[in-house]
Amino acid sequence: MRGLKTGFLSVSAALVLGGCASGFKATYDSDPGHDFSGYSTFAWVNEHPMKVGASADRMVNPMLEPRIMDAVEAELIAKGFNYTNDLEAADFALSFTVGSRDEIKVDSYPSMTGGYAGYGYPGHWGGWGGAYYGYGTETSVRQYTKGMLAIDIFDVDEHRPVWHGVATKTIYDSDREKLTETVNAAVNSIMVGFPPTK
């Protein structure tokens, strides 16, 4: 899909990507004084715009870069922006950062395995509600990976960042098995916030 910029692509991308963003939590930030209304063309900051942030994996899949670039281009074209490979001719430029980290969640809850005593304890609520003893606790520990994609937009004339969007999600094996769909959903959840509305 690299380099293919057609109306059909724009429409199909909007339809496909628009319904898959569930599961990602996205946040946005932008320069409140910046005017985005004049933007019409975009480019990448360079040939390889992917940066790697903190990562639980020592090796980041190099195939992520073209997948993310395709998804971002499709989203922006669907919004009416035009792609150019001439950075100086563009109104805005983009780069993105990928990262992941392992997290551990520990849940503790009371266990009845210690038994109980005093059922019908005299003089307490008419014989009901005796004193329990021997409560234990059961602890559940699970490790999971949280993935992150951040997209940054720079004003070409001013050479400065003007918009930032980031999406995070707990990554499951099913997400890794359907990597293109996962990338599309992450990008979509971010790009719905661009351009910012006042």
**pLDDT reported for residue 142:** 55
Top pLDDT among 60 and 107 is at 60
Residue 15 has pLDDT above 60, yes or no: no
pTM: 0.69
**pLDDT reported for residue 171:** 83
**pLDDT reported for residue 191:** 97
Where do the DSSP E strands lie in 69-172? 82-83, 92-111, 136-155, 160-171
Top pLDDT among 125 and 182 is at 182
**pLDDT reported for residue 178:** 86
Please state, in angstroms and rounded to a whole number, the distance separating the CA atoms of residues 187 and 166.
Answer: 9
Q: Within a 10 A sphere around the Cβ of 141, how many other Cβ atoms?
A: 9
**pLDDT reported for residue 109:** 62
Average pLDDT over residues 64-77: 97
Top pLDDT among 137 and 194 is at 194
Fold of 7-101+150-191: Double Stranded RNA Binding Domain (3.30.160)
Per-residue pLDDT band at 1 (split at 50, 70, 90): very low
| H-helix or E-strand spanning residue 189 | helix 179-191
Per-residue pLDDT band at 62 (split at 50, 70, 90): confident
Q: Can you give the residue ranges of every domain in the chain?
A: 7-101+150-191
Residue 133 has pLDDT above 70, yes or no: no
Q: What is the DSSP string of 37-77?
A: TT--EEEESSS--EEE-S-SSSS--TTHHHHHHHHHHHHHH
DSSP 174: H
Q: What are the pLDDT digits (tens) for 155-192?
A: 999 999 999 999 999 888 887 888 899 999 999 999 99
Out of 27-36, 116-125, 175-184, least confident range:
116-125
Q: What are the pLDDT digits (tens) for 71-90?
A: 999 999 999 999 999 999 99
**pLDDT reported for residue 108:** 58
Asked if residue 66 has a cis previous peptide bond (ω within 30° of 0), the answer is: no
